[in-house]
Amino acid sequence: MEISTLAMYHCLAFVWYFFIAYSIAHIRTEERPSEVFLYGGQWKYLTVLNLVLQAVFYGVSFLADVLRLIKKLRCAKCIISIRDLLFSVLAFPVSTFVSISFWTLYTYNRELVYPKSLDGVIPLWLNHAMHTAVLPFALLEILALPHRYPAKKKGLILLGFVAFLYISWVLWIYSVTGEWVYPLFTLFSPFGLAAFFATSLAIIVSFYNFGEFLNRMIWGQSKFCL
């Protein structure tokens, strides 16, 4: 794909994710259903954190494209390294996890992750923007250009560290409020919850490996050329 075309795509994707994140962040608190507590705001939900992550990723990608267009290759090389690390370790596996896990649980019992009362607050298009569109965007990014993946050990350590931070955040919120971020967690004993978190981590690691596999199958061992 031509650099100018990539720049336009990454710019539009950045604007889209910024708009979605802004829309979610500015839902009026008085409209929230009674089962949605205020502590932590929107930032306790992995879906919303993923929207911010995607906006950051596409913003960095757009900056890399612009630097390449104006021939600032030394700066572009540094930004491209950041872009590829963000995509491989976080943007692809997290967006894939959010989409697939949400719709799997929603199909099983939506009250566990997205109570019906939210339909009156979050319109259908916004729900799909948060939970559906993130997956094709991630796949399109792999098709659009190759990304350098870090050494497997480094990549998995970084992904595991970020997962640990989010789990710690969820547990902290529960320790302060006595409420779980997702109703699903109320079904588990402490041991069951630990097993659920471990299984979720294994799934997101599999998505990391899947992204690396797709990148290699489509682009081989090619390096990104400036």
Residue 214 pLDDT greater than 90, yes or no: yes
Nearest CA to 176 out of 39, 41, 33 is that of 39
Q: Does the predicted model carry a pTM greater than 0.85? A: yes
**142 contact partners, CB below 8 Å, separation of at least 6:** 92, 211, 214, 215, 218
Mean pLDDT value of segment 21-45: 70
Nearest CA to 61 out of 8, 136, 1, 132 is that of 8
Residue 148 pLDDT greater than 60, yes or no: yes
The CA-based angle 79-82-87, given to 5 degrees, is 125
Domain ranges of the chain: 3-25+42-219
Query: How does residue 225 score in pLDDT terms, banded at 50, 70 and 90?
Result: very low
* Four-residue CA torsion sign, 64, 67, 69, 74: negative
